[in-house]
Structure 1
């Protein structure tokens, strides 16, 4: 039914690792994601993902990058970052987010931003450039 109607399945827990779960939970988020990736591939529907927890660390972002690749099952067609709040802009949280976004855009093959990049990032610069182009187009139309 999903394939017939072009549904994209959005699944959670893309950042979660088996080794981070309490022993008494007896769960495998990595196994569950793998199972969903294989199921969506077998029925021919797209898979999108999202995080379940509020995390800003490179380990969680790295797990999303790993699960987004097409090593097995469907690659992610989109990713929704949940729990976006002001903590994202504190300390190394923003740097980790920028690296994550670049990694997603480049299929996980990005280089780490240099530690001396404390005044801006390529992500921020791109946003400004795109905004300036839009403003120039609007000015020409007036």
Structure 2
């Protein structure tokens, strides 16, 4: 009986024991602090094509890890920051950049928010002008008499 209790206790411990987390930490060695600074800058400027809302430094996607590794490799080979950006844009398009260049294809990204705000202001102005801007039309003489009568009744009461 003791042996059975021991096995149940052992099974319980094994099943509830925390399993080691499988978290990979990228470790890169650089020749100089400047090279490391360029790497950090690049991985923050490049967007993960899979995650879309994260830069490749924050993303845990396998593609982001591959992009970090490629960036590191290219830096170690002596490529400049612009050469690495050009390589990534040639491979993944302007989408990989958080700040895409102003071009005909990206114009909507730059002008879109301003156009939406201007359109909203125009709608507000048109609607307020149609209502007369809060000013009513002048009262006719009949309406003025009726108003005076109502006000006099109110004072007498």
Q: What TM-score do you get using the length of structure 2 for normalisation? A: 0.24
Greater relative CO (CA pairs within 8 A, separation 6+)? 1
When you count strand as a share of all residues, which structure comes out higher?
Answer: 1
Q: What TM-score do you get using the length of structure 1 for normalisation? A: 0.26
